[in-house]
């Protein structure tokens, strides 16, 4: 049987590919366990500085596996915490995670992409939260992360009407960081990931923490958080190296210390 999730290391970048083409990359417990295991491995690997999650040219993921969840009753969903365990590993990753989305990213697929630190989209990407058509609603962050990313108005529109947003609209609305022709998406995403991975890993992780903090606390609290992290970078050998290299007009060699 072909693996549902394929992993590859490309220099300092860890690439995770969702690989369930016969079911539009629908997410089930095995797929999510595969993604979680890959993130565990890439987080533990000191050589890796950035992680990319992608699907195929046609689909990132068309949501949670509808066939698998159609017969769940309330007690099963509540008591088992509807397989929450394992589904949110991306959220706790300390290294940056980029979603490279081509084709459909629907329901849980859109939610997984939004759990990543940023989304790069192909020009054929389509984002949507169509759960309402199934008599249910977003359950993995769609109704919470979408309004933060694209405004309440557009989030309401997508969650209430099940309308899909194309790549151009998603970029304009702030859901995606960059858009590329589909045949360039992965290369360009890997290039950006390699750039990130070329920097000092502790600083990269601090920047990620700091930007995330902006979402989760008041401005004064997050400004203080940023200031403390900024001060702490002066304790790093990499900060000494980065500034010395600039002054000496040479390329910095970071040691992640």
Contact between 134 and ligand DAK per CB under 6 A: yes
Look up residue 219 and give its two tokens: 């401005």
**Least distance in angstroms from the C-beta of 152 to ligand DAK:** 21
**Radius of gyration of the chain, Cα coordinates, nearest whole angstrom:** 19
Determine phi and psi for 75, rounding to 5 degrees.
-60, -40
Place of tokens 């088992």: 80
Contact between 21 and ligand DAK per CB under 6 A: no
Size of the site for ligand DAK (CB under 6 A): 22
Contact between 116 and ligand DAK per CB under 6 A: no
Contact between 104 and ligand DAK per CB under 6 A: yes
Q: How far apart are CA 26 and CA 61, in angstroms?
A: 6
The region that residue 24 occupies, defined by phi over 0 for left and psi between -120 and 50 for alpha, beta otherwise, is left
Residue choice 37, 123, 139, 223 for contact with ligand DAK (CB under 6 A): 139
Which span sits near ligand DAK by CB under 6 A: 48-56, 100-108, 221-229, 245-253? 100-108
Buried b (16+ CB within 10 A) or exposed e, 134-166: eeeebbbbbbebbbebbeeebbebbbeebebbb
For residue 108, indicate whether it is catalytic: yes
Contact between 106 and ligand DAK per CB under 6 A: yes
Contact between 67 and ligand DAK per CB under 6 A: yes
Place of tokens 């900024």: 230
**Least distance in angstroms from the C-beta of 162 to ligand DAK:** 8
Place of tokens 């389509």: 126
Q: How far apart are CA 72 and CA 64, in angstroms?
A: 13
Look up residue 165 and give its two tokens: 């947003």
Beta bridge partners of 97: 51
- x/- track of binding to ligand DAK for residues 69-88 (CB under 6 A): -------------xxx--x-
Contact between 127 and ligand DAK per CB under 6 A: no
For residue 8, indicate whether it is catalytic: no
Whether 54 contacts 99, CB under 8 Å: yes
**Least distance in angstroms from the C-beta of 159 to ligand DAK:** 12
Contact between 49 and ligand DAK per CB under 6 A: no
Contact between 150 and ligand DAK per CB under 6 A: no
**Least distance in angstroms from the C-beta of 104 to ligand DAK:** 4
Which residues are identified as catalytic?
64, 108, 111, 131
Contacting residues toward ligand DAK, per CB under 6 A = 23-24, 26, 62-67, 82-84, 87, 104, 106-108, 130-131, 134, 139-140
């Amino acid at each position: 049987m072909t693996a549902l999730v394929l992993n590859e290391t490309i220099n300092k970048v860890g690439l995770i590919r969702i690989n369930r083409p016969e079911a539009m990359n629908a997410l089930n417990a095995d797929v999510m366990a595969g993604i979680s295991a890959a993130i565990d491995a890439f987080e533990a690997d000191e050589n890796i500085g950035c992680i990319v999650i992608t699907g195929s040219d046609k689909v990132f993921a068309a949501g949670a596996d509808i066939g698998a969840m159609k017969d769940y009753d309330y007690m099963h969903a509540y008591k088992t915490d509807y397989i929450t365990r394992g589904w949110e590993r991306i959220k706790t990753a300390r290294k940056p995670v980029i979603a490279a989305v081509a084709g459909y990213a629907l329901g849980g697929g859109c939610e997984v992409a939004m759990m990543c630190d940023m989304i790069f989209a192909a020009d054929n990407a389509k984002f949507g939260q169509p759960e309402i058509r199934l008599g249910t609603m977003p359950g993995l962050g769609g109704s919470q992360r979408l309004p933060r990313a694209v405004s309440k108005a557009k989030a309401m529109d997508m969650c209430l009407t099940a309308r899909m947003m194309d790549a151009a609209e998603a970029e304009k609305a702030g859901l995606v960081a960059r858009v590329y022709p589909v045949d360039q998406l992965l290369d360009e995403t890997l290039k950006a990931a390699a750039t990130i991975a070329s920097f000092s890993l502790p600083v990269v992780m601090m920047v990620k923490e700091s930007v995330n903090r902006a979402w989760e606390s008041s401005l004064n609290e997050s400004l203080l958080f940023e200031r403390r992290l900024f001060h702490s970078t002066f304790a790093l050998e990499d900060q000494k190296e980065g500034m010395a290299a600039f002054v000496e007009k040479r390329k910095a060699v970071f040691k992640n210390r």
